[in-house]
Structure formats: C-alpha cells, structure tokens
Amino acid sequence: MFNKLKQVWKIKDLRNSIFFVFFILVIFRIAAHIPIPNIDVSNLKEFFQSNQVLGLLNMLSGGGMERFSVVALGIGPYITASIIFQLLTMVIPALEALTKEGESGQHKINQYTRIATVPLALLQGYAMITLLRGSQQQLLPQLNFFQLATILLIMATGTMFLVWLGELISEKKVGNGISLLIFAGIIIDYPAMIQRTIVVFDPSKIVNLLVFIALIIITVAGIIFVSEAQRNIPVSYAKRIRGMKMYGGTDTYLPLRVNQVGMIPIIFAISFILFPPLIAQFLLRVKYLFIQNFAHFIIQLFQNQVFYAALYFFLVVAFTYFYTSIVFHPQQIADNLQKQGGFIPGIRPGLNTGEYLSNVSNRIMLAGAMSLGIIAVLPLILQPALGITTFAISGASLIIVVSVVIETIKQIESQMTMREYEGL
C-alpha cells in the first residue's frame, strides 16, 4: 500500500490531479457554509436533526440544507434527472439510439440531463421552501414574489455549480466527480459524530460501543466483498481460418458481478421513502380534518423504525432487480457472443445462451440484493438496540462511501498502469 502511495506521489501529473480534486472538494465545503441572504438558520439544524427523513436528505447534501446554503439542494436534482433519462432510454427509441452512438451519443444525453436539472432544481427548491414555511416552527419567513424567485434562482445556480465542479473532477480521471461530492458531503459529519460520542460516552456501555464498532468494520468488509464478488461464466471461441492465419480457439470467461448496479438501488429506495412523508408535510396545512389526520398517520408511520426498516429493505431488493433488468441484457450479450464465434460450453448459442445468462444473473442477483438490503437496514436495527444514538451512521451512507472509495482507487490504479505502459 505504501509503495503505491509513493508511486502516486512520484507521478507529477497524477499528483497534481489529486491535489486538484482536493481543492475542488474544499470549494464545495466552503459553498456549503455560505447561507442564502435574509434567512435565519438558527432553528434549521435542530429541525433537520429531529426529522429522520429530512436528516437523510441533509446528509446527502453535505449539511447544506440545515444551513440553507447556496448549495442547499446538493446534486439531488441532477441525480434525479440522470435516473429519469436512464429510464426514458427504455421507452423512447431516439434516446435508445443515442446510447448506441458511443461517446458522442452519451455527450448529448449528458447535455439533456444538465438542461433537465434546472427545472427540477427549481421545483425541488420550491418544495423545500414550502415545507419549511409550513412547519409548526415557522422556520422561514413569508416571502414576496421577488424574494422567492431570487432564492430559487440561487438554489438552482448552486446545484448547477456543483454539477460543474463534479465534471471538472471527472475530467481528471481519478474518480467520478458527482460520487466524490456525495462522498465529501457524507464523511464531513463523521468527525462531529465521533466527538459527540466521546463527550457523552457512558463507561458502562463500553461493550456496546466495541460491538457497534466491530459491526461497522464487518459491514464495510461485507460491502467490499459484495462489490467485488463475481461469477465467471466460461466462454470458448471457435477456431476460424482467414487466408493463411487462424483466429480464435481460445478459452476465456464472462464476468457477472453479484452487484451489477452499485449504489443506484439505494438512491432509488431513498427517493421513494422520502416522497410520502414529504407529501404528508404539505397536507398538514390542508383545511380538511380527515386529510390532516391522514397526513399525521403517514408521518407517524414512517417514523416507526420497524415499518421504515422493512419498507427500506423491500425497496432496496426490488430496485436491485429492477435496475439490473435495465442495464443487463442477456440476450444482447448472447447475440454478440454468437456473432464473434463464442459459446458457453454445453449451452447452445443464441436464445438458449440468453436464457442461461438470465437464470444465472437472477440467482446471483438474489445474493446481491439481499446483501444490499441487510447492509442498508442494519444500522437502523443496531443503533437503538445498543443504545448508540450519537453516532447516527446509516447503511446507505456506508455503501456510498465504500463504493466511491473503491471506484476512486481503481481509477487511480488504472492511471498508474497506463503510465507504466507508456514508459515501456
């Protein structure tokens, strides 16, 4: 490990790229502490900490919501736009054709995603302002049209500023920029959590604390194991003679990852879990009593840890299957193998190969989906059971942090390998 760090330090352009990424992340943290003018944020922090659902959104924004900063929305609108366009490629032939055009098609889809981010940011910003104004604490003052428009413009601009920063990071090829911004927003709260745990630590609960730390370490190890696990499908290529040369005749394998979709199911599940309580918060202001009672029921239901954990687990498992069906096309892989003269030993090429790959994918996906679901809800179960409430770490944040670290390390290693080949 230390040898690799020395090698990274010796490569000047790679070292400069890493320093540039750190500089961009510092800019992001500075922006997260710049509040929007004319807004009193003294009560916002307590409000977001007391609300589990909004606290999760605040964590993903790097604390920007509780400070009502210029980047309060984070990159949430951009992620939503990305998911929307990934789904639209399944139903709109023109977008599906763009995905097959390679880099130029992906560039156009990215441009459409950026354009769609702006109205989504305005809509999400308005929803956030309405929610805070409608709370019982009256966290935001009454705003006239000009003030409201100014705040919405600042929030949308802040989101697009973060998208730009993320793309600057991605250009350096030492990690995905959007993922690193989410990563920085999550881990920034860990030192404060550790400090609170130390300050209020009860010596009688030393065993509980050690068990909690051990389980966190085991969970991180489990995330790494699931992220890297794969099933290798043997593939053979028939011998072909072209002119005086012989091609093929080799044996290789087709890797099928246990978790083929990364942290996307977690983001999907969080988005769906946040929706009903947020709508219920709006319905509290309705004049009809039965609607208010229904809204109170929804809010209390989602504050129930058992229901919240069960629904969270189910959504993570369901979205793992759903999103894998979007990104993994076994019949297309089977057709490509057949065109290249490849086949799986014992399986007929074409339709039978596609069915075989689909069955194998569904079996290993069950292990990946269950693992993601268990990891996502495990902290929700352990923290109340062990009495460790000051270190409010979630399974979603652990999965995101570990996945981003693995992805960044792989990109840095690929950059080092490329430079070694250039030296040869």
Confidence class of residue 324 from pLDDT cuts 50, 70 and 90? confident
Is residue 406 included in any domain, yes or no? no
Is residue 346 included in any domain, yes or no? no
Is residue 317 included in any domain, yes or no? no
Helix axes 351-386, 330-339, angle to 10 degrees: 140
Query: Minimum mean pLDDT among 60-69, 248-257, 295-304, 312-321: which range?
Result: 60-69
pLDDT over threshold 70, residue 137: no
Confidence class of residue 424 from pLDDT cuts 50, 70 and 90? very low
Mean pLDDT of 198-227: 77
Confidence class of residue 51 from pLDDT cuts 50, 70 and 90? low
Q: How many domains in the chain?
A: 1
Is residue 139 included in any domain, yes or no? yes
pLDDT at 404: 83
**Mean pLDDT score across all residues of the chain:** 78
- The tens digit of pLDDT for each residue in 263-279 reads 778 777 777 777 777 77
pLDDT over threshold 80, residue 111: yes
Scanning 188-304, the segments in alpha helix (DSSP H) are 190-199, 206-228, 264-283, 289-303
More confident residue, 175 or 423: 175
pLDDT at 160: 92
pLDDT over threshold 70, residue 85: yes
CATH number at residue 157: 1.10.3370.10
Is residue 361 included in any domain, yes or no? no
Mean pLDDT of 315-326: 83
Mean pLDDT of 86-100: 79
Confidence class of residue 385 from pLDDT cuts 50, 70 and 90? low
Question: d(Cα 330, Cα 321) in Å, to the nearest integer?
Answer: 14
Is residue 100 included in any domain, yes or no? yes
pLDDT at 153: 92
Pick from 376, 365, 325: nearest CA to 223: 376
Give the chain's end-to-end CA distance (angstroms, integer): 23
pLDDT at 157: 92
What's the CA dihedral at 219, 55, 259, 93 to 10 degrees? 180
Burial grade of 133 (CB within 10 A; 0-12, 13-18, 19 or more): middle
Pick from 394, 390, 393, 364: nearest CA to 376: 394
Query: Minimum mean pLDDT among 66-70, 151-155, 279-283, 339-343: which range?
Result: 279-283
Domain that holds residue 182: 1-188
Residue 202: DSSP 8-state: -
- The tens digit of pLDDT for each residue in 151-191 reads 899 989 999 999 999 889 888 888 888 888 888 888 877 77
pTM over 0.95: no
Percent of the chain with pLDDT over 70: 80
Question: d(Cα 92, Cα 95) in Å, to the nearest integer?
Answer: 6
Question: d(Cα 368, Cα 255) in Å, to the nearest integer?
Answer: 15
pLDDT over threshold 70, residue 388: no
Burial grade of 216 (CB within 10 A; 0-12, 13-18, 19 or more): middle
241 phi/psi in degrees, rounded to 5: -110, 125
pLDDT at 392: 58
pLDDT over threshold 70, residue 391: no
Confidence class of residue 216 from pLDDT cuts 50, 70 and 90? confident
Is residue 51 included in any domain, yes or no? yes
CA angle 61, 128, 49 (to 5 degrees): 55
Is residue 241 included in any domain, yes or no? no
pLDDT at 254: 83
Mean pLDDT of 242-267: 73
Scanning 340-394, the segments in alpha helix (DSSP H) are 351-386
Mean pLDDT of 312-318: 86
Mean pLDDT of 124-131: 79
Mean pLDDT of 14-42: 82
Confidence class of residue 338 from pLDDT cuts 50, 70 and 90? confident
Mean pLDDT of 59-74: 74
Mean pLDDT of 214-228: 82
Question: d(Cα 377, Cα 394) in Å, to the nearest integer?
Answer: 8
pLDDT over threshold 60, residue 321: yes
On whether the CB atoms of residues 75 and 182 are closer than 8 A, the answer is yes
More confident residue, 208 or 164: 164
pLDDT over threshold 50, residue 372: yes
Cα dist. 246→237, 239, 380 in Å? 12, 7, 59
Give strand pairing partners of 254. Answer: 233
Confidence class of residue 63 from pLDDT cuts 50, 70 and 90? low
